[in-house]
Chain A
Amino acid sequence: MVVLLYNVRYKSKEVKQMRLCELTAHELRNMLRKKEISAREILDDTCCQIESMEGRINAYITLTKEKAYEDAERVDKAIRKGEELPDLAGIPMAIKDNICTHDVATTCASKMLEDYIPPYSAEVYERLLRAGSVMLGKTNMDEFAMGSSTENSYMKITSNPWDTDKVPGGSSGGSAAAVAAGEACFALGSDTGGSIRQPAALCGVVGMKPTYGRVSRYGLVAFASSLDQVGPITKDVEDCALVMNCIAGHDPKDSTSLNVPAEDYRSALVNNIKGFKIGIPSEYFGKGIDSRVRDIVLEQVKVLEELGAHVEEMSLPHSRYALPVYHLIASAEASSNLSRFDGIRYGYRGAENDDLESLYIMNRSRGFGTEVKRRILLGTYVLSSGYYEEYYMKALKVRTLIKRDFTRAFEKYDVLIAPSVPAAAFNIGEKFKDPLSMYMSDICTVPVNIAGNTAISVPCGKLGGMPIGMQIIGKPMGEKRIIQAAFTLEKNTSFKGLAR
């Protein structure tokens, strides 16, 4: 296959020769509108990239190239007819495999759902289709989104495009790796305790967890209902705003969806941080955080300070309780959410069994992987009679305290800045046998889910050749603020996102 190179004005300065699969959505969008390229050409080059990379990266569980070509053809037809193009027309995307896609297998990377083909689509997926985006396939993840390395997948192990011996992070590891490797222009992930931001940071791309309720959860296979949010993983901040414009907004099918007016996130793409009050929560820079990560993040904070932001150290005193609270709440909800997988209406079914109880036990014991079963046990335990108050109730109360920390902080600050990850990507297999140390990978991200706030992870440097991310946290519905801060950082640093 011939690889075509295009002249692109990169970051409005230098002109570079680049492949289409390396370009951002907003760049492709402009070129399509100027008729410099076709949707088919974008797709060709991205498929070519998948062919050359996928053998090493293993980002996808299912590829839907055929359908993608049909969709791209439809976009090209619209271009030929001179029709007005929707926002993401012809832009190739990847969807995490826990987001339901009508007629396309949605496995949650579990043996339980290996053959499951949903008869309906998630709201986010439908919105992206309406926006003209072209789906390339469904990405690998930790089984039912439980994990931080994508190693808990029943299907395959995904590699970090920066170093294939390393994990891409998780649970949306397939989505982050696909974007970082140019195997998709952008992707959707889901974030329950950091599952978008953490892999985005480890793969050197941008990932956003929207405010709880900002993006519909309808059709996202639930892990922990009160913490889950769908969000974009993109090559840069502008793309993040572009995708958010398409997926955010009220959905009457999700009772927890916020019924507030839509916002134009692109209007926040302003390279200016003058007067911003930035809080630096000291708890996120101490114990458990690699000091080199801390230094890199603080160095970038200095860039923002030099651009006119007011930076101040502050405290979120209950931060250290976030991880235990998270595990109690998430496991409790998960134990109930995963009860529907009994192998009767759908899902893995073991051999013929003439006893109902044995059938349940066989289907569930064989259909779920180790980590999933660990969490179901913990969740069942903390909800069971006699322990509810001691564990679950207590966690809900501490959740109030953690939320209060954030509420107070945002009375004073526009955004808070912390690392997205405590360390750079670790080796595949390194933490697999030690759940607790794996859980620690989420300490920077978990508190935001507990409070329901929004946060974005943007690449902010490298450690030993591996990318790390800065996390910019906003108040509920504060997406525009953090996009502006992230955009300013991106425009004023030399760090170039993608793995080459």
Chain B
Amino acid sequence: MGKGVIKKEVEYVSALARLEFSEVEKEEYASALVNMLEYVKLLNELDVEGVEAAYHVMPVMNVMREDVEKPSMGREMVLDNGPDTQDGCFKVPKVIE
């Protein structure tokens, strides 16, 4: 992968992940990403045609709960770790819809 391309990719995924980097950092993260992508190319040796994907590693199915109410947490506890709260709510910069 070309250097310019990968830098663009880093910009794209860091925007998706809500991360921001300086130009110098961007280079470092880009090269780490390139190294990993190179490394995982090892998997291309394998033909996985027709192999099922292992989404879950144990054959567990249908784990569900009965529809029975239990007490909630209490608002004070809910808000306790909130960095910025007001009127019983979490406060965020204005969201324009």
Question: Which residue among A344, A348, A393 has the maximum number of chain B CB atoms within 10 Å of its CB?
Answer: A344
Query: Is there an interface contact between A403 and B32, defined as CB atoms closer than 8 Å?
Result: no
Q: For chain A residues 346-372, which have a beta carbon within 8 Å of chain B?
A: 346-349, 353-362, 364-365, 368
The answer to the question of A117 belonging to the interface, with a C-beta cut-off of 8 Å to chain B, is yes
The answer to the question of B42 belonging to the interface, with a C-beta cut-off of 8 Å to chain A, is yes
In the complex with contacts A213-B58, A345-B90, A346-B81, A324-B43 CB distance below 8 A:
yes
Other-chain contact of A380, B13, B65, B77 (Cβ < 8 Å): B13
Docked complex Cα distance between A356 and B91 (Å): 11
A386 vs chain B, min Cβ distance (A) = 10
Query: Is there an interface contact between A395 and B17, defined as CB atoms closer than 8 Å?
Result: no
Residue-by-residue, is A276-317 near B (CB-CB < 8 Å gives 1, otherwise 0)?
Answer: 000000000000000000000000000000000000000000
Query: Is there an interface contact between B20 and A381, defined as CB atoms closer than 8 Å?
Result: no
Other-chain contact of B12, A119, A252, A344, A384 (Cβ < 8 Å): A384
Query: Is there an interface contact between A360 and B18, defined as CB atoms closer than 8 Å?
Result: yes
Q: For chain B residues 5-64, which have a beta carbon within 8 Å of chain A?
A: 9-10, 12-14, 16-21, 29, 32-33, 35-37, 39-40, 42-43, 45-46, 48, 51-58, 60, 63
Query: Is there an interface contact between B48 and A365, defined as CB atoms closer than 8 Å?
Result: no
The answer to the question of B87 belonging to the interface, with a C-beta cut-off of 8 Å to chain A, is no
Query: Is there an interface contact between A353 and B93, defined as CB atoms closer than 8 Å?
Result: yes
The answer to the question of A52 belonging to the interface, with a C-beta cut-off of 8 Å to chain B, is no
B40 vs chain A, min Cβ distance (A) = 4
Q: For chain A residues 206-261, which have a beta carbon within 8 Å of chain B?
A: 211-213, 226, 252, 255-256, 258-259
Query: Is there an interface contact between B13 and A320, defined as CB atoms closer than 8 Å?
Result: no
Q: Which residues of B contact A258 (CB under 8 A)?
A: 58, 60
B25 vs chain A, min Cβ distance (A) = 9
Give the nearest-CB partner of A117 in chain B: B81
Q: Which residues of A contact B13 (CB under 8 A)?
A: 377, 380-381, 384
Q: Which residues of A contact B56 (CB under 8 A)?
A: 226, 256
Query: Is there an interface contact between A361 and B19, defined as CB atoms closer than 8 Å?
Result: yes
Other-chain contact of A345, B29, B53, B81 (Cβ < 8 Å): B81
B5 vs chain A, min Cβ distance (A) = 12
The answer to the question of A77 belonging to the interface, with a C-beta cut-off of 8 Å to chain B, is no
Q: Which residues of A contact B14 (CB under 8 A)?
A: 377, 380
Query: Is there an interface contact between A355 and B40, defined as CB atoms closer than 8 Å?
Result: no
The answer to the question of A64 belonging to the interface, with a C-beta cut-off of 8 Å to chain B, is no
B7 vs chain A, min Cβ distance (A) = 12
The answer to the question of A85 belonging to the interface, with a C-beta cut-off of 8 Å to chain B, is no
The answer to the question of A21 belonging to the interface, with a C-beta cut-off of 8 Å to chain B, is no
Other-chain contact of A325, B37, B43, B55, B65 (Cβ < 8 Å): B43
Q: Which residues of B contact A399 (CB under 8 A)?
A: 53-54, 57
Q: Which residues of B contact A343 (CB under 8 A)?
A: 83
In the complex with contacts A256-B60, A353-B93, A400-B52, A117-B20 CB distance below 8 A:
no
Q: Which residues of B contact A130 (CB under 8 A)?
A: none
Q: Which residues of A contact B65 (CB under 8 A)?
A: 252
The answer to the question of A452 belonging to the interface, with a C-beta cut-off of 8 Å to chain B, is yes
The answer to the question of A123 belonging to the interface, with a C-beta cut-off of 8 Å to chain B, is no
Other-chain contact of A355, B29, B83, B93 (Cβ < 8 Å): B93
Give the nearest-CB partner of A362 in chain B: B20
Q: Which residues of A contact B55 (CB under 8 A)?
A: 226, 396
Residue-by-residue, is A426-456 near B (CB-CB < 8 Å gives 1, otherwise 0)?
Answer: 0000000001100000000000001110000
Query: Is there an interface contact between A403 and B57, defined as CB atoms closer than 8 Å?
Result: yes
Give the nearest-CB partner of B83 in chain A: A349
Q: For chain A residues 20-56, which have a beta carbon within 8 Å of chain B?
A: none
In the complex with contacts A361-B18, A435-B32, A377-B58 CB distance below 8 A:
no
Residue-by-residue, is B67-97 near A (CB-CB < 8 Å gives 1, otherwise 0)?
Answer: 0000001000110111110000010111100
The answer to the question of A342 belonging to the interface, with a C-beta cut-off of 8 Å to chain B, is yes
Q: For chain A residues 330-352, which have a beta carbon within 8 Å of chain B?
A: 335, 339, 342-349
Docked complex Cα distance between A393 and B46 (Å): 13
Docked complex Cα distance between A476 and B39 (Å): 29
The answer to the question of A378 belonging to the interface, with a C-beta cut-off of 8 Å to chain B, is yes
Docked complex Cα distance between A354 and B83 (Å): 15
In the complex with contacts A226-B57, A344-B90, A436-B35, A320-B42 CB distance below 8 A:
yes
B14 vs chain A, min Cβ distance (A) = 6
Other-chain contact of A376, B17, B40, B43, B53 (Cβ < 8 Å): B17
In the complex with contacts A213-B58, A364-B19, A356-B92 CB distance below 8 A:
yes
Query: Is there an interface contact between A349 and B48, defined as CB atoms closer than 8 Å?
Result: no
In the complex with contacts A119-B77, A452-B58, A345-B82 CB distance below 8 A:
yes
Other 13 A-B pairs with CB < 8 A, given A339-B17, A403-B54: A255-B63, A327-B36, A327-B40, A344-B90, A345-B81, A346-B83, A377-B13, A377-B14, A377-B29, A384-B16, A393-B53, A451-B57, A452-B57
9 A-B pairs with CB atoms under 8 Å apart are A116-B81, A226-B55, A365-B21, A373-B29, A384-B16, A397-B53, A398-B51, A400-B52, A401-B46
| Top 8 A-B residue pairs of the complex, sorted by shortest distance between their CB atoms | A452-B57, A349-B83, A346-B81, A396-B53, A397-B48, A324-B40, A399-B54, A360-B18
